[in-house]
Structure formats: structure tokens, C-alpha cells
Amino acid sequence: MEPSQNNDSTAISEDEIALYDRQIRLWGLQAQEKIRKASILLLTLRALGTEIAKNLVLAGISSLTILDSAPVSAADLGAQFFLSSQQSELPQDESAIGKNRAIVAAPAIQKLNPRVAVRVDEEADLEKKGDAFFAQFDVIIATDLDTDALERVNDAARRVGKPFYAAGVGGMYGFIFADLGPHHEYVIQRDAGNLATKTGPETPTRSVLSVRTKKEGPRIVESVTKRELYSPFQTSCLSAKLPQEYTKSKRRLRGVTPVLSCLRALWSFSSPSETATTTTTENGTTARRLPRQDNREDLAAFTQLAMAKHAELGLPPETLTPEVIRRFLQGVGCEIAPVTAVLGGQLAQDVINVLGRTQQPVQNVVVFDGDKMEAQMYALHPEADVDGANGGA
């Protein structure tokens, strides 16, 4: 679907400046220029993908390409506001059931901002997409995919040098993962302090590359160029240890959400039943079967796996209670609108920050606990990556 105007064709117009006035005041005209030239790929349009699409299109990107071969289900109608028919008086249009989810939603997404090109890739077999396909985009976002698919897309994004995000929700819990790597540079502008900002390592994953100062009236403003280290999903989310500021403090270890251990168990889960380790997804691909709370074998296997992941992270065993595991499993596969709104908004905002290169991005895993309304961020990296970054700083 083509837009009524193309953001790439000319410099930003006065009409666009008026339209995006509020966000230009937040991140500046130069950042908005970069945003309006960006092409984004969004994989899977469930409730979380819907929130991400809404926020990015309203922000004024150049184009959004949606890849999702799944048909609309009855469950989708209760979680995705773009699937209601514009011609139906019913809030949930059951005539959409069975039709391609992305194709049905695209017209409503387009209406949010006619200046953005909203496209649907109808050849939506993800396994057949090569590097040339992913190289077309400035940012790649994968939502609600299984671990194998996330790793495959992340690897492709790395090969073609594109920022990659992964995200997923399950009931009251969810996560965001960012791999902008191997490095991402950005510039922070701020009032100069009494102490001069020094170049060199700032944290184990962040270095200050350069500092420039200029006088603006009575103020002295410094522009600080920073570089963040990033690692792939496989080595970050599945096996990396917590940073030393956690492992050296019993108090901070007790504060780490046990949802992180449950997520690691979910990403690694394989059913103990040899005949039911995989399932066919709504996209038509083969994926690991999600654990079910009402399946005793699943519950036992998942509990054992979550406890093992908890121990690997060095977390106190008392923080991973049977109640935590039960509530986590209750939400697997479920979508709750407020949770998808929070995570979708945060991910979209981080994409905007990365495109504008004027704000510090997510580093590198966010874990959301809707029961406590907390979103904790952890820098999870293999020790070799962190040591190499510090050695090269």
C-alpha cells in the first residue's frame, strides 16, 4: 500500500514540521529528518506488533513493511484494534477471521499517517528470506517469534549490519531485546558540568569517544559521542551472566526479577515428550511447543529448567517461588492490552532514539513484570565481548 506522499522525496516541509511539532521539540529537527527517511521491517502483527506499528507510523517514519502470514483468529479480534472493520458497526468484525492478519490491518494502520508507506509482504515465508531482503531496511523488529526464528533473523541482521529488536509478551510479563551491534554510536548534548567529561570506558558496555564544547550565550554545552557494545540474542539472552554490579551484591541479586529466569527457561524449553517437542505455528512454520500449565510433564520440566536458569544467574533460590512459575505459565501465549501497550511504546521509542542517535538506547534486555508494574533493564553480554570492548576502548 503506497502513501499519499513520500517522506524520502524532499526535505522536511513546513506542514510536516507543524504535524510533528511536539516530537521535534523533544528530539530535534535533525533527528526527525533521520526518522522520516527510515524503513522499518516488522515481523508478526499480534497485539504487541500492533502497538509498535501504531507508534512508529505516528512518529513519521518513511515506510513500514509488515511480514505476517498468519490468518486472523477469534482471539486476535479481542487484542488488536486494527482488525475491526471500518464498514461494520460491530467493534469486532468476525468477517475478518481466516484472512491474512497483516493485509486486514494495513488499511487502518495507513490511515494513522498517510505520509508513511505501509506495505505488506505477501511472500511471508520467513525461512525463505535471505540477507538481501533484510538489507533493505534500517531497523528490523521481530515480535512473538520462537527462539530459533529470533536467532535466525538476528544473525541475518548482523550480517547485513542492521539494528535488530526482539520482543514478546505472555500474560502480565514480557521482554525487549536490542542488538544494535556490534556497536552503536550516538551523541548526547547537555550542559557542561563542573568536572570535564573524560574519554574512555564509562561502563563495561559504554565508552566515551569524544567530547566537544561550545558556548551558547551564558551556557556551555557539550556534545558527547558515546559507543555502546551489543551482543546477539543467543549469547546474551540464553547464557550470559549478570553484570558484576549484580553478582558482587547480595542485595542487588535479591532485587533481580525471577521473571528473567522464567523467560530464559521459556526460550530454552523443549517438551519432555519426544513426540510433541514442536508444533506448527500460525505462520505455517515449525516451532518449539510452548509449555502448558495443565500438562504435568510440561510443568515439571519447566519448573526444573527455570530453577536451573535461576541458579546459573546466581540468584537466591527463595526468589523463584512456585507461585511465580505458576503465574508465568498461566500467561504463556496470552495477550493483555495494557502490557502490550507499555512494551510496544517503549520499544518504538527506543527505535526512534536509535534512528535519531541523540539518546542512550536500551542496553540490552528489558524484563517487564506487570504484577509489580516494573521494567528492569539488564546488560547481558558474554564476558569475552565485554573484555574485548574494554581492551579496545
3-state secondary structure 121-171: CCCCCHHHCCHHHHCCCCEEEEECCCHHHHHHHHHHHHHHCCCEEEEEEEC
Could you tell me which residues are beta bridge partners of residue 72?
none
CATH number given to 15-181+335-382: 3.40.50.720
| 3-class secondary-structure state, position 376 | strand
Q: Cell numbers at residue 157, please?
A: 541482521
Query: H-type helices in the chain, by residue range?
Result: 14-19, 21-27, 29-35, 47-59, 74-77, 101-112, 131-134, 147-160, 233-237, 244-247, 250-255, 259-268, 296-312, 322-331, 337-356, 383-392
Strand runs labelled E in 180-284: 183-191, 200-203, 206-216, 219-229, 278-280
pLDDT in tens, the chain (393 residues): 333 344 555 677 777 777 777 777 777 777 778 888 999 999 999 999 999 999 999 999 999 999 998 888 888 887 788 886 543 344 455 677 888 899 999 999 999 999 999 999 988 788 899 999 999 999 999 999 999 999 999 999 999 999 999 999 999 999 999 999 899 999 998 999 888 899 999 999 999 999 999 998 899 999 999 999 999 999 999 999 999 999 999 999 999 999 999 999 999 986 454 334 455 555 444 556 788 878 888 899 999 999 999 999 999 999 999 999 999 999 998 999 999 999 999 999 999 999 999 889 999 999 999 999 999 999 999 988 887 666 544
| 3-class secondary-structure state, position 225 | strand
pTM: 0.89
Strands 63-67 and 39-43, bridge-based pairing: parallel
